[in-house]
C-alpha cells in the first residue's frame, strides 16, 4: 500500500490546497479525513475541474466537490477480493480502511497484478550453431537474431519475467561471448542470469548434467530460438497438478499430401483420398521438469530431450503433454525468420 500522510486534507481545506497535493503527489488524488482519521471522501483533478466550471475558484472550500462514496476495501480483505472489486469497477486505486473505518493507505491495483517472483529456474538452450539460418548466423548466434528490433532471446527472457520467473540459466556455446556481453547478469532486464558454458555439444538434455546446483522446484527448459506467448504460469500449474516428472509442450502439426492417396489391399484399390490432411503432435521445444529427472541424465554426454523422454516412458514414469493453443513459432529457417518479423508487432505488441 501507498502511504497517505502527505495527501490528507481536512474538510475546511481549499481547492488550492487540494490542487497542490494532487499536482505534487504520485497518486494524483487527495483524501479527506475527519478528526478521527475516518475517511470522508476523495478528490481528484476531475472533481476540481468540474468545480471550477461550476463557478468555484482556488480559494473556495473543497466541501462541495468531495466524492463521498468512493469504493473502498478493508485491511482484512484478500488480494483476490481487492482485485475482483477493482476490476469489476475498472479502478486503478482503492482506499484501504481498518476495522474502525480509518483510512490507512491506498492500494494501487497494478502492484497486485504484478506477478510474484517465482523460485522456479528457467534453463534456456542457446548454444546451437543455427546452420540452417546461414549466412545470418555466421557472425551472430541464432538466439541473438533480431525479431521486432530485439534479439529473439530477449523476448523469451521478457516473457518469463512477465510471469515472475526471473531465475534464468543460459546454456551457451557458439559465440557465447555475444550473448554474455548483451545480457550480462540480467539486471538490466529485471532478471538474474547465470551461464553454463558447453565445451562440447551436449544436446537439449545433456546440458542439464552441467548444472552446478540441483533445482529444488520444478524447472523450465526451453530452446532459445522460439517465439511464443504461452502462459508459463499455466504450464507450471499443469505440471504440478498432474504430478508429472516431465511435461512436454506439444503443438499440432498438419501435413497435406499433395496427391490423391490410393489405399490398396492385396493389389486391389479399395479407396482413394484426394489430398488428405494428416495431423500430428510435435514437440514444441518447451518443457517443465521435476528435479528428480536429473537422475536419468548421463554426465558429460550428448543427450537429447526426446531420448530422455523415451527412457522415462519405457520406465513407466509419469510423462504428460501440454498442448499449445497459443502462438508458437520455431525460427529454424529463413522463411520462418521472415514470418516472425512480419508477425511480431501483432503478437508481442505489449513487449517493448
Question: In this structure, are 271 and 230 located in the same domain?
Answer: yes
**pLDDT of res. 344:** 81
pLDDT tens, residue by residue, 279-327: 888 888 999 999 999 999 998 888 899 999 999 999 999 998 888 877 8
Q: CA-CA distance, 120 to 179, in Å (whole number)?
A: 22
- The CATH number that applies at residue 337 is 3.90.550.10
Is residue 352 in some structural domain?
no
58 domain-assigned = yes
The pLDDT value given to residue 247: 92
Structural domain includes residue 245: yes
| CA–CA dist 221, 147 (Å, integer) | 21
**Are 106 and 130 in the same domain?**
no
Shared-domain flag, residues 44 and 152:
no
Low-confidence ranges of the chain (pLDDT < 50): 350-352
Q: What is the pLDDT of residue 349?
A: 64
Is pTM beyond 0.75? Reply is no
226, three cell numbers: 522460439
pLDDT reported for residue 14? 93
Domain boundary, last residue among 89, 113, 137: 113
For the stretch 235-282, pLDDT in tens is 888 888 788 999 999 888 887 888 888 888 888 888 888 888 888 888
Q: What CATH number is given to the structural domain containing 88? A: 3.10.580.10
Q: Identify the domain boundary among 82, 113, 144.
A: 113
Q: Are residues 57 and 200 in the same domain?
A: no
Domain boundary among 61, 92, 113: 113
Closest to 207 in 3D by CA, of 120, 297, 279, 280: 297
Hunting for cell 475482483 — which residue is that? 84
Domain presence at residue 288: yes
pLDDT value of residue 351: 46
**Same domain for 125 and 232:** yes
**C-alpha torsion angle, residues 207, 210, 216, 221 (rounded to 10):** -20
Within this chain, do residues 230 and 332 fall inside the same structural domain, yes or no? yes
- Same domain assignment for residues 188 and 318: yes
Q: By residue range, what is the domain housing residue 44?
A: 5-113
Tell me what pLDDT residue 64 has: 92
Asked if 125 and 76 sit in the same domain, the reply is no
Q: 134 and 47 in one domain?
A: no
pLDDT for position 257? 82
Amino acid at each position: 500500500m501507498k502511504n497517505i500522510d502527505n495527501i490528507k486534507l481536512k474538510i475546511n481545506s481549499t481547492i488550492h490546497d487540494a490542487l497542490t497535493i494532487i499536482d505534487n503527489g504520485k497518486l494524483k488524488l487527495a483524501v479527506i479525513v475527519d478528526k478521527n482519521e475516518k475517511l470522508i471522501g476523495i478528490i481528484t483533478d476531475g472533481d476540481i475541474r468540474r468545480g471550477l466550471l461550476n463557478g468555484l475558484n482556488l480559494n473556495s472550500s473543497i466541501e462541495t466537490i468531495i466524492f463521498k462514496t468512493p469504493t473502498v476495501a478493508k485491511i482484512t480483505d484478500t488480494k483476490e477480493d481487492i482485485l475482483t472489486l477493482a476490476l469489476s469497477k475498472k479502478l486503478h486505486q482503492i482506499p484501504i480502511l481498518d476495522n474502525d473505518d480509518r483510512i490507512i493507505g491506498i492500494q494501487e491495483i497494478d502492484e497486485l497484478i504484478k506477478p510474484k517472483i517465482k523460485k522456479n529456474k528457467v534453463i534456456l538452450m542457446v548454444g546451437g550453431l543455427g546452420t540452417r539460418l546461414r549466412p545470418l548466423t555466421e557472425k551472430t548466434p541464432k538466439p541473438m537474431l533480431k525479431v521486432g528490433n530485439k534479439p529473439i532471446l530477449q523476448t523469451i527472457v521478457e516473457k518469463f519475467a512477465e510471469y515472475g520467473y526471473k531465475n534464468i540459466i543460459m546454456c551457451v556455446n557458439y559465440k557465447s561471448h555475444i550473448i554474455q556481453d548483451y545480457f550480462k547478469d540480467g539486471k538490466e532486464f529485471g532478471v538474474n542470469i547465470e551461464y553454463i558454458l558447453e565445451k562440447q555439444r551436449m544436446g537439449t538434455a545433456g546440458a542439464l548434467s552441467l548444472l552446478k546446483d540441483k533445482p529444488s522446484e520444478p524447472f523450465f527448459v526451453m530452446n532459445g530460438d522460439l517465439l511464443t506467448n504461452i502462459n508459463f504460469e499455466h504450464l507450471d500449474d499443469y505440471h504440478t497438478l498432474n504430478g508429472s516428472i516431465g511435461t512436454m509442450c506439444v503443438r499440432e502439426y498438419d501435413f497435406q499430401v499433395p496427391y490423391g492417396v490410393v489405399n490398396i489391399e492385396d493389389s486391389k484399390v479399395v479407396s482413394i483420398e484426394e489430398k488428405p490432411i494428416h495431423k500430428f503432435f510435435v514437440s514444441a521445444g518447451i518443457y517443465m521438469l521435476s528435479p528428480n529427472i536429473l537422475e536419468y541424465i548421463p554426465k558429460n554426454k550428448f543427450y537429447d530431450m526426446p531420448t530422455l523422454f523415451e527412457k522415462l516412458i519405457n520406465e513407466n514414469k509419469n510423462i504428460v503433454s501440454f498442448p499449445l493453443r497459443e502462438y508458437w513459432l520455431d525460427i529454424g529457417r529463413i522463411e520462418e525468420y521472415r514470418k516472425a518479423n512480419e508477425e511480431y508487432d501483432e503478437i508481442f505488441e505489449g513487449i517493448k
